[in-house]
Structure 1
Amino acid sequence: MADPERRRLRPWTVRSRIVGLLTVLALVSAFVAGGVAYIAERSRTLEQIETNLRAALESASFIVADDEWTDSEQALRAVVQRLAPDDNTGTLGIVDGRAALVPGIAADVPLDRLPGFVERVVAETAEHEVVVGTYAGASRTVRYLAAPVVLGDVDASAPPGTVFVTGYDVGAELAELDGAARVFSITALLTTAATFLVGLAVSDRLLRPIRRMREVAERSSAASLSERIPVGSSRDDVSQLAVTVNGMLDRLGGALDSQRELLRDVGHELKTPITIVRGHLELVDPRDPGDVEATRELAIDELDRMARLVDDLRAAARLRDPGAFELRQTDVAALLGQIADKARAIDGAELEPVTPVAALAILDPDRITQAMLQLVANAVRHARGPIALGARVEGRDLQLFVRDRGPGVPDELKPVIFERFRRGVAEGRGDGGSGLGLAIVTLIAERHDGTATVVDAPVPGGSVPGGSVPDGHVPDASRGSEFRLTLPGAVVPVAGGTHPPRNVERRLPGPDARPHETDSEEQAWHRS
């Protein structure tokens, strides 16, 4: 059942918020842009009215000065007749304080019919001044120009007898702009609504992988991580996120499967010593000191084996920690020398001389040492005779190997020998390992982006200590095993083909030396 809080918040999804916010921003942006354009166009229209009034005055002045008129009324009549009124304009001739002359065609603005307009103009032009003013009536707002028409000298003692008047209906001029603004507003609203609908559809498609992620996450649990998010052919960021989440689910599923397998294997491994100890304790004769002592030794031996298993499990778990590795430039020859010095301290280890390899590589020397010592301990436990340590450089790939002279690894066991709790048959030394040693080697190789493998290798007479062995060269009927750590791209290229040594610390063991000890969780390499 869905969580009530989740049901309450579900309508306000990220998709709704994004589309809603973008829609509001689009609407606001459209109206801001339209408002700025409207204000600019309104200012231009008003300026154009002023320009047209001044042009009318110049035209009237030119007409009055063009011919010799008998009187000012005749000149005024010519001006009114010749200046054809424009749209939303009107022209008027005032004679002796009354509206006497109008154009021969109907004007959009009948100035003579505006209440009080003539009287206002007569009063404003009484001083023989050209007047530009605004008349605001009940139904119209008119921007007008009034200019006295005088022939000859001006008699300042009397008001002008003739006045030319032209005016523009400001409301009608702006009404055209207001109509365009209304059309723009309606269009902006419709396009914003369309943008909202398109945004919902597009965002639904683009964010569908995220919705599927949530649904898959709701259905996923530790019991089942098999479901994956469907990913189409799109290559956008959200689809790539879905691919990444699917990869994460793959890793989590693999980790869970690995944990289940580990628990199953550990349970199997622990069941045997527990069963053995319990069986002997149930059958021990407390009155027989010999039986008690033998049972005690057997129980201690089985408990030691269980302790080794726990130590190796802790070591393997620690290797999965990203902070457990520190890759740095390392002198391979010096590292092999250190590994050989430590390997000689392993009980029963007989090492051949190590041939130096001139190379620098990027790796974690401590972990590589741990892996190589584990392989040496494995060779000591399962083989007889000298053990060879060496390295090969092929381009930028580095291959470290441990070669023994034992019976070899059966072909059917080679693909699985590095898995947990896979054991070979020890020759003459018993097998007290936990079955995790080679699995730890594989973990170390994988953290270097490399691999751990085992192949057949020639034994006495055909081995080349510290070097490579020709393919197909089998001088003896028996074959040993060569365990390899291949680290691709680890070798540092050096100009001239030489690899001068770097500051690599090397400790030479004394008579009582023991393998270099680090963390207690990493002490199991000689026991696994």
Structure 2
Amino acid sequence: MTPTPALAVTTPATRTTRTVGKTTTDARPRTAARPQRPGVSVRTRITLAMALLVALALTGSGAIVYVIEYDRNREQAMNEVNQEIEEFIRFQENGVDPRTGEQFEGVVPLLQIFLERNVPSPSEAFLAWYDGEALPGQDPGDDRYLGDPDFDRIVEELTPENGNRLWRSPSDGEVLIAVQSVQFEGDDRVGALVVVQELSERDALLHETMVTYAIVAFLSLLLVLVIGWWQSGRLLSPLRTLRATAERIGATDLSKRLPVKGHDDITALTRTVNGMLERLESAFSSQKRFLDDAGHELRTPLTVLSGHLELLDPASPDEVESTRKLLLDEVDRMTRLTRDLILLAKSDRPDFLRIERVDLDELTEDLVAKARGLGDRDWRHDGAPAVRVDMDRQRITQAVLQLADNAVKHTRDGDEIAIGAALSAGHVTIWVRDSGPGVPPGDRELIFERFGRGAVRENDEGFGLGLSIVRAIAAGHGGTAHVEDAPCGGARFVLSLPLRQNRPEETQSWPAS
């Protein structure tokens, strides 16, 4: 019988593989890659936001101006109407016909003479009303309002109360109608002066003004758009440079930096990004250096282990035992090497140090006491000021004991080794001096490099990492490590650390309590 082939069924959410006698379900979700949609750029959004705000401001300003001017036109028209009414009231109160010098005989002569002696402006019309009927006006054109039922009705309604009202004429647009009544004693019939003030010309001027304003506002808006587009592009230029720089940065090249220009928020962001790039470059460099160092230095002990294991004769107990001791020794060396490399890799991290306030004189005395166990030497204390400084006590102890161990390797029993500290020019210096042969000037930088070694004594199994660890600890404190000639011969290794200041109100050093 031919075996049944395996069947594979795949759905968008779950991939299930069925085999004869066995079913396996892979429930991993499979998400389709979504295409990136081009969005509106920040520059465009800023420009549109500016344009919208300016458009709203211009529109609001135009509306306010229109309302103010519209009300002002009505107020001016009302003032002109009131002026004509006041002149008519004074003329009526005088009561003397200027043609005869005698009192007016009735309402009609009063109204007719007033119309003859007062010429209305082009936007005004004077009409005389008597006993519910209109008298002909001075200007024949003023009679154009007569015969309109709405106009007649308004005049009849306003005559008893001497009021005014706005009315929209079919031919002249909106007009202001004001009525002032007059009545003689003994005459039951009532006359009235009707003043009509046309508002169309004023409204036309206001309309022209607003059209002009709209054109100027539109041109201003275009100008704002152009300036906003240019200015936003100028302000966002560092961000575009940031994007372009980020695109050029690769895993092997983190040296690109953004140009710093100006003193605004974008400049502050640029400095922050540059600082981030520097930290990333330092971190990547540290990792790369760690991998290179580990790969280089672990190759030899791994080769030794592999070679001895391949040549090992399991049937020989003596050979197994000797190989075991040799391999354990190599494992110990690899452990020490790995520990030192990890410590150097950690030296670039911000949590490498734990700063605390330390009594400097007490620290140096403890260091001398701990160093006595490193070898039979004449250990001395060069003294230290009684001050308290900020440092990582454990890291400084590690560095100084490393220097002391190095001094033991280059001296003999009974030779003098001293540890001391001092304050000078805003720095605290801690040193270890010995009476050994010293360090040649040509080796004084080499010995602080990783795996860098000068002249070494016989049976020195170091890796050349001890002094590089010392320099890393000093650099973590913002200081330096160097070697110089001791005053009485030999070498003096010096840690120079700046005095730390955690708070502005505190001084950089404190007397020890």
Judge same fold: TM > 0.5, yes or no: yes
Q: Judge conservation of contact 1:453–1:485 (CA < 8 Å) in 2.
A: yes
Residue 133 of structure 1, aligned match among 165, 169, 172 = 165
The one-letter code matched in structure 2 to 1:148 is S
Which residue is 2:456 aligned to? 426
Q: Judge conservation of contact 1:396–1:490 (CA < 8 Å) in 2.
A: no
CA distance in 2 between counterparts of 1:19 and 1:302 reads: 69
SS at match of 1:368: helix
Which residue is 2:294 aligned to? 266
Spell out, residue by residue over 1:339-368, the C-alpha distance to the aligned partner (whole angstroms, 9 max, x if none): 222222334565213424122222222222
Q: Judge conservation of contact 1:132–1:146 (CA < 8 Å) in 2.
A: yes
Which residue is 2:490 aligned to? 480
2:471 is equivalent to residue 438 of structure 1: no
**Percent identity over the alignment?**
34
CA apart distance, 1:281? 4.1
Q: 1:119 to 1:290 in 2, by over 3 A?
A: closer
CA distance in 2 between counterparts of 1:495 and 1:185 reads: 64
Listed as ranges, the matches of 1:232-271 within 5 Å are: 233-271=261-299
Q: Judge conservation of contact 2:352–2:476 (CA < 8 Å) in 1.
A: no
CA apart distance, 1:374? 2.1
2:440 is equivalent to residue 410 of structure 1: yes
Between 1 and 2, higher relative CO (CA 8 Å, sep ≥ 6) is seen in 1
Residue 200 of structure 1, aligned match among 192, 207, 229 = 229
CA apart distance, 1:381? 2.6
CA apart distance, 1:398? 1.0
2:512 is equivalent to residue 501 of structure 1: yes
Q: 1:181 to 1:5 in 2, by over 3 A?
A: farther
Q: 1:50 to 1:154 in 2, by over 3 A?
A: farther
TM-score (norm 2): 0.81
CA distance in 1 between counterparts of 2:457 and 2:505 reads: 44
CA distance in 2 between counterparts of 1:168 and 1:396 reads: 91
Q: 1:292 to 1:426 in 2, by over 3 A?
A: farther
CA apart distance, 1:210? 1.0
TM-score (norm 1): 0.79
Q: 1:299 to 1:91 in 2, by over 3 A?
A: same
CA distance in 2 between counterparts of 1:420 and 1:497 reads: 33
CA distance in 2 between counterparts of 1:491 and 1:142 reads: 83
CA apart distance, 1:246? 3.4
CA distance in 2 between counterparts of 1:453 and 1:85 reads: 107
Larger mean CA deviation between 442-451 and 318-327 belongs to 318-327
Spell out, residue by residue over 1:412-453, the C-alpha distance to the aligned partner (whole angstroms, 9 max, x if none): 22223222222333335x323343322222222222221122
Spell out, residue by residue over 1:281-332, the C-alpha distance to the aligned partner (whole angstroms, 9 max, x if none): 4455667666554443332222211100111223334444323433233221
Aligned residues: 470
CA apart distance, 1:146? 1.0
2:482 is equivalent to residue 453 of structure 1: yes
SS at match of 2:383: coil
Q: Judge conservation of contact 1:398–1:491 (CA < 8 Å) in 2.
A: no
Residue 123 of structure 1, aligned match among 140, 150, 156 = 156
Unmatched 5+ stretches in structure 1: 463-478, 503-528
Residue 329 of structure 1, aligned match among 352, 357, 364 = 357
Which residue is 2:240 aligned to? 211
Q: Judge conservation of contact 1:383–1:404 (CA < 8 Å) in 2.
A: yes
Residue 47 of structure 2, aligned match among 2, 19, 29 = 19
The one-letter code matched in structure 2 to 1:258 is S
Which residue is 1:276 aligned to? 304
CA distance in 2 between counterparts of 1:67 and 1:403 reads: 129
CA apart distance, 1:393? 0.9
The one-letter code matched in structure 2 to 1:123 is E
Q: Judge conservation of contact 1:111–1:117 (CA < 8 Å) in 2.
A: no
Q: 1:80 to 1:31 in 2, by over 3 A?
A: same
Residue 100 of structure 1, aligned match among 131, 135, 157 = 135
Which residue is 2:421 aligned to? 391
Residue 182 of structure 2, aligned match among 115, 134, 149 = 149
Cα RMSD after superposing both structures: 3.3
Q: Judge conservation of contact 1:126–1:159 (CA < 8 Å) in 2.
A: no
Q: Judge conservation of contact 2:365–2:381 (CA < 8 Å) in 1.
A: no
Unmatched 5+ stretches in structure 2: 1-32, 98-103
